Amino acid sequence: MIEKKRIVIVGATSAIAQHCARLWLEKQPVDLILVGRDARRIERVAADLRVRSPKSEIRAVQAEFFNPEAIKASVEGIVQSGNVDVVLIAHGSLPDQRNCQNDLTACKEALDVNGISPVLYAEAFVQKMAEANHGTIALISSVAGDRGRKSNYVYGAAKGMVARYAQGLQHRFAGTGVKVVLIKPGPTDTPMAGHLKAKGAKLAPVESVAKKIVKGVSLGKSVIYAPGRWWLIMMVIRHLPSMVFNRLNI
C-alpha cells in the first residue's frame, strides 16, 4: 500500500489555499490537514474537499495564529503522528493603507497577520522538518513585498519580511532534504481583493494562480511569481531609480 502524501495548509479558508487543496486532491488521495482560526469555516472547507476526494483523509484543525506557544503546540500536535511532506502557509489579509497610517492598532494587526504569524508557523514546522531532513515548506508572500510603495507599504513591509525570512531558510537548508518555496502572487481574483476588483483592477484568476503554485511546489522551485509575468514587472519596479519611482502614483 502506497503511503499518502501528508500536506498541511495553514490559512486553509483563503481562496488560493482552497484551490491549491483541490488540485492536490485531483492528483491522488492525500492526508490533508487544514488549519484555520474559525472552526465553522474550516470545517465547511473540509466537508467540501471530502466530497471531492472520498479516499483522502481530511482533517480540520482550529488553531491560534498569534500566540507563539499556542502555534508551537498546534504544530507539535500535527507532526506527532508522522512527518509532513508539504506545508503551505497561506493566511493573510489585505489591509487599508490609510487606516494603517492613522491607527497603530490596525497597523500592528496587519503586520502580525501578514508577516509575524506566517514566520512563526514556518519556524515551528521547519524545526520538525530539520529533524527528519525531509519536507517542503511553501510560504505565500506577495509581489507587494518586492518594493515599498505608498499605496500599500504596511502590507508590503509584512510580505517583504516573509520574503527575507524565506530566503534565509533557503540559505540555511541548502543542500539538505528540506525545501523552501517562496510564492509571490500578484493581485488575484479572491474575496480579499474584492475592493480592487470593484475599482476596475485587472486580477488574475485564482485557479491559474493555484495551478502555478502547486506545480512550482512539486518542482521545488525557490521562487514562484504567479502569474509569471510579475517577475518581469517587479524586476522593472525594483530597479527604477528613486527620482523616477517617486513620481509614480502606485
Domains parsed from the chain with CATH numbers: 5-245 (3.40.50.720)
Q: Where are the beta strands (DSSP E) in the chain?
A: 5-10, 30-36, 57-62, 86-89, 135-140, 178-185, 223-226
Instruction: Output the pLDDT for position 242.
Output: 96
- Map grid coordinates 525557490 to a residue: 222
Return the axis-axis angle of helices 68-79 and 117-132, rounded to nearest 10°.
Answer: 40
- Which residue, 181, 165, 168, is CA-closest to 216? 181
Residue 150 grid cell: 505608498
The whole-angstrom separation of Cα 84 and Cα 7 is 6
Report the amino acid identity of residue 193: A
pTM for this prediction: 0.95
Residue 223 grid cell: 521562487
Sheet holding 86-89, edge to edge: 57-62, 30-36, 5-10, 86-89, 135-140, 178-185, 223-226
Residue ranges of the chain with per-residue pLDDT less than 70: 1-2
Return the axis-axis angle of helices 206-219 and 15-27, rounded to nearest 10°.
Answer: 60
Residue 84 grid cell: 509532513
Residue 61 φ/ψ region, left for φ over 0, alpha for ψ in the -120 to 50 degree band, beta for the rest: beta
The whole-angstrom separation of Cα 86 and Cα 97 is 33
Instruction: Output the pLDDT for position 2.
Output: 61
The strand pair at 30-36 and 5-10 is best described as parallel
DSSP 89: E
The whole-angstrom separation of Cα 243 and Cα 33 is 48
- Which residue, 150, 175, 144, 177, is CA-closest to 162? 144
The whole-angstrom separation of Cα 111 and Cα 113 is 6
